[in-house]
Amino acid sequence: MKLIRTIIIDDEPLAISILEDYIEKVKHLNLIKTFSNAIDASSFLSEQSVDLIFLDINMPVLDGFGFLESIKSKPMVVITSAHEEYAIRSYEIEAIDYLVKPIPFPRFLKTVNRVANLFSKDKSPPSDEHQSIFVKIDNKRLQKIYLDEILVIESLKDYIRIKTTSGKYILHRTLKAFTEELPKNKFLRIHRSYTVAIEKIQSIEGNSVEIDGMRYTIGRSYLEDTKQRILNT
């Protein structure tokens, strides 16, 4: 397989050193250059192309998200950050993965193997159907959830329960706030207690929809919009 041209952007020398050591252990990664700030990296990418960026978010002058908005052609991106709160935004930029510092080598290797698999297929990031988000479970664990596996999100007052094709997850978020972060063309609020994946709706009958063999009530104030959105889809 062709070597994956890689750069590191991080304002912490120790973080760069650790990633350099990890990359050296992986034969299909070719580290081209490291940067201590996003401005220099942006200038470099205006003249050179790379396949993969290990990107810190919290950097002075130009942060990681601002950097990604500034470049024309975006390669595959792996976020490396000590701050868990940026994980939710990572799916918006279609990041391949989100690694929380300090990064264990086995976790790094798992991500790199996924990158290599994507690179060998088409050298492009995952399609919209395979976008993922990270959610905080039990106030300590970040769990990756693929958007195309979500069936229903149910409100439990100050918590929500996310039902997916592979399991259920409870997290401390409001349904309104969480729904606003999801792609509007794929998810629909049908009730004050439910947001559903439009493509997972199997049938509509009266004021309810069927998903995965279960029926969910459509709220009276949501009924007209729900039926229009579903029929248009």
Q: What is the DSSP string of 37-66?
A: SHHHHHHHHTT---SEEEE-S--SSS-HHH
175/195 Cα distance (integer angstroms): 8
Q: How do the pLDDT tens digits run along the chain, 233 residues long?
A: 678 999 999 999 999 999 999 999 998 999 999 999 999 999 999 888 899 999 999 998 999 999 988 887 789 999 998 887 777 676 667 788 889 999 999 999 999 998 998 887 654 444 444 678 888 887 667 788 889 999 999 999 889 999 999 889 999 889 998 998 888 889 999 999 999 999 999 999 889 999 999 999 999 999 988 888 887 76
The owner of tokens 């958007």 is 147
Say what the pLDDT of residue 26 is: 93
- Residue 121 sits in the same domain as residue 11: yes
Whether 111 and 157 share a structural domain: no
Q: Which residues, in sequence order, are CB contacts of 66 under 8 Å at separation 6+?
A: 38
CATH code at position 192: 2.40.50.1020
User: Does the CA dihedral 105-107-108-113 come out positive or negative?
Assistant: positive
Are residue 118 and residue 144 in the same domain, yes or no? no
**Each residue of 30-83: pLDDT tens digit?**
999 999 999 999 999 988 889 999 999 999 899 999 998 888 778 999 999 888
Q: Are residues 120 and 146 in the same domain?
A: no
Structural domain harbouring 73: 4-126
> Are the beta carbons of 125 and 110 closer than 8 angstroms?
no
Q: Same domain for 94 and 143? A: no
Residue that finishes a domain, picked among 96, 126, 156: 126
90 in the same domain as 11: yes
Decide: 89 and 57 in contact? Cβ < 8 Å: no
Whether residue 48 is found in the same domain as residue 111:
yes
Q: Is 140 found in the same domain as 118?
A: no
CB distance 111 to 103 below 8 Å: no
Q: Check residue 7 and report its DSSP letter.
A: E
Residue 221 three-state SS: helix
Kindly report, residue by residue over 176-188, the tens digit of the pLDDT. 989 988 888 899 9
- Our count of domains for the chain comes to 2
**pTM (predicted TM-score):** 0.55
Residues 91 and 171 in one domain: no
Q: Is residue 131 part of a domain?
A: no
